[in-house]
Amino acid sequence: MVGFLVCRGKMASPSKKAKKPITKVFNDPIHGSIELHPLLIKIIDTPQFQRLRFIKQLGGVYFVYPGASHNRFEHSIGVGYLAGKLAEDLRSRQPELEISDEDVLCVQIAGLCHDLGHGPFSHLYDGMFLPKALEKKEEMRRNGELGEEEKLEEWKHEKGSCDMLDHLVRQNDLKPEMEKYGLIPEDDITFIKEMIAGPLQESKEQEDEKGYCDIINTLVELIDLEKVMMEKYEVDPEDVKNIKEMIAGQKSKSKKEQSKLEQEMKEKYELNPEDVKFIQEKIAEDKKWPYKGRKEEKSFLYEIVSNKKNGVDVDKFDYLARDSSYLGIKNNFDFHRFLQFARVCKVDGRKTICTRDKEEDNMYDLFYTRHRLHKRACQHRVSQILQEMIAEAFVKADGHIEIEGSEGSAGSEGTIGSKGSRGLFTLSTAFKNMETYTKLTDNVFEEILNSSRPELQEAKKILQDIVSRKIYKFVGERKPKDPIEDWKSQKYGWKIGLARPLPNGESKLKLDDFEILVINMDYGMKDKNPVEHMHFYSKKEPDVAKPMSTENASRIRTTIFSEQLIKVFCKKIDEQSVEAAKKHFEQWLEMEPNLDGSEEAREILQDIASGKRHKFVGETKPKETIKNWKSRITGWKKGLAPPNGKSNLTPEDFEILVINMDYGMKDKNPVEHMHFYSKYEPDVAKPMSIENASRIGTTIYSEQLIRVFCKKIDDEKSVEAARQHFEQWKFKM
């Protein structure tokens, strides 16, 4: 651990004369000199946290961007620092919030530990590898090759962070250290985990026991449900039980009993199941506080590290600044301004972190920068296919790499791996045992690459191809007009379509020779605008926060917040196969009109692919440049197809292109805007004088071309008629 001791820590409560703890200073490349509390140092110096030194922050992006060499380790320290800074800023700005030293420390620990659960190559492990491993095991189970004991559940790194935090505290006996600084481990660890992963789920048994009726039971405690039902829906109070049973459905009654109850409610009150659902939704607008670590008056603390409402949190602040710096990509967002203007205001009865109204543009910069990072680096087509290849190699190696974990211990920590009582786990089961998971880092890449074991040779070959840059070749991509939600179920069918034989039979590419990546890029909330989910206060009313009104919102901003890219690659990288794959791709597009957004778009692409283009009719050069030509296009098309014309051509059958060509400054001579010096006066520059300027030179520097095309390309008579229309029209312009 690099650092040195300095005096001053700001953990003592103002009401106590407690000795201030000695902190350590780190020289961070992004945030400069930062101080960390002694308890954070204790956490950092554990094997579980040190493991993050060996997990790349951007995963396989490092194979494309040489600068992307930073790890989860330094990012986590940065988030811990920023989390504490935001909490301290709010405390000094608004003492009435009663943010305690323990609150600040818990927020710092949450920021520090929020990424403990990441696996090899960060998001590649839980976002790409585990789904592939799950799909493979499901297929093996369907074929009878696996039993139910080998079942692999879906899992996300946030849960791993919570499990690893429990393991870290237990293995390093940190509870006494936490108590030393005023924390209550049982309560505050819950609070920290809730800040990382949201409300902690109850056990499956508890959920099944309670069923959906708990929703109504909770709501009855919050408001006078009987009064609402009596006044608004004219339902007797004793029928609350029936309403609950209807909502609970088959969890409380058989289909026959449920149907009978629904019929009774319909006859008695004209109340359908849809009406019951409506009642449930309307009443549920005021939800019960879901967290246990802190009471509702400190709801804003849950927005600091991982903001589930709009994504504005210190995790994003750090990785945008850090990733941009290491990638060499400009970061337009200034998180210092957010820290400066952050205030807690009450919104819909709950305290939330807000910012000044004048900061709207800065918030758009936040999400725009995130989008640009994803587009240029994280979702870069080479980055993506490299990570896909790594995930594929890990799937082939899964089951052949054994990692020893804790043996015979109880609970989630003691889950025995697929190899039995020895406590051995595979790549896809390591997350079930935190002792095992602590040993799993990016180093597994090197382990496979340098292995001589026969069962790892397939995986090794893929990784060898990566390091020697023999990667799958990009064939083409499409952006569907409307995102395809069920693309996972369609992917196999798409591959079948791609492998369809070409008309001339020249290609022998098969289904497995293609790889399809579907990438969804957005501002963090799918097709929604996250800034619309933020609240802003004004200088005049600093304690009143509202969404940005349409009148005050910036007129210059993004209106579409998501797009989907479907990228196709060929696994055979020789030139002949790649060229054939491109033809397969074009053929496939003709069979998949949804990929181009509409049937009309598909027809246009088909025409382009078959060489059918709008027919050139003629062009004219106006003597003087027409500056307002855009407003005249519609009139020109009507003039090209007058109603009394002898042909059947309509204005829609014509396409007009206006091309302006010049020397770069419209009708001006750019050389006249330059300055020249002479051999005798090298420090004196002037425009070229008329006397010294060349006599042989251009005098007109711009021209405009108006070109007309006919869209009816299969009808020679129409094209010939269009030419006659053009000749008449150009003299009337």
Active site positions, annotated: 157
Q: How far apart are CA 475 and CA 322, in angstroms?
A: 32
**Which of 108, 111, 109, 130 lies closest to 121 in space, CA to CA?**
130
**Which of 125, 105, 114, 200 lies closest to 165 in space, CA to CA?**
114
Q: What is the DSSP string of 257-283?
A: HHHHHHHHHHHHH---HHHHHHHHHHH
Query: End-to-end alpha-carbon separation of the chain, Å?
Result: 79
* Burial (Cβ within 10 Å: 0-12, 13-18, ≥19) of residue 373: buried
- Which amino acid, residue 324? S
**Which of 441, 454, 453, 465 lies closest to 393 in space, CA to CA?**
465
Q: Are 507 and 584 in contact (CB under 8 A)?
A: yes
* Helix (H) / strand (E) containing 362: helix 360-373
**Long-range contact list for 217-226, CB < 8 A, 24+ apart?**
217/244, 218/288, 219/283, 219/284, 219/286, 219/288, 221/288, 222/286, 222/288, 223/283, 223/286, 225/283
**Which of 554, 585, 193 lies closest to 358 in space, CA to CA?**
554
DSSP state of 441: S
CA dihedral sign of residues 415, 421, 423, 428: negative
**Which of 403, 464, 455, 465 lies closest to 429 in space, CA to CA?**
403
Both tokens assigned to 449: 């690459």
Q: How far apart are CA 707 and CA 725, in angstroms?
A: 13
CA 505 to centroid of chain Cα atoms: 41
Q: Are 158 and 116 in contact (CB under 8 A)?
A: no
CA 23 to centroid of chain Cα atoms: 36
Q: Are 733 and 725 in contact (CB under 8 A)?
A: no
Q: Are 67 and 326 in contact (CB under 8 A)?
A: yes
CA dihedral sign of residues 142, 144, 145, 149: positive
DSSP state of 64: T
Q: How far apart are CA 673 and CA 389, in angstroms?
A: 54
Both tokens assigned to 691: 């006397």
DSSP H helices, 404-531, are 434-438, 443-449, 457-467, 487-498
DSSP state of 119: B
Report the side by side order of strands in the sheet with 350-356: 343-347, 350-356, 536-537, 545-546
* Helix (H) / strand (E) containing 165: helix 157-171
3-state secondary structure of 91: helix
Q: How far apart are CA 607 and CA 60, in angstroms?
A: 39
Q: How far apart are CA 8 and CA 21, in angstroms?
A: 7
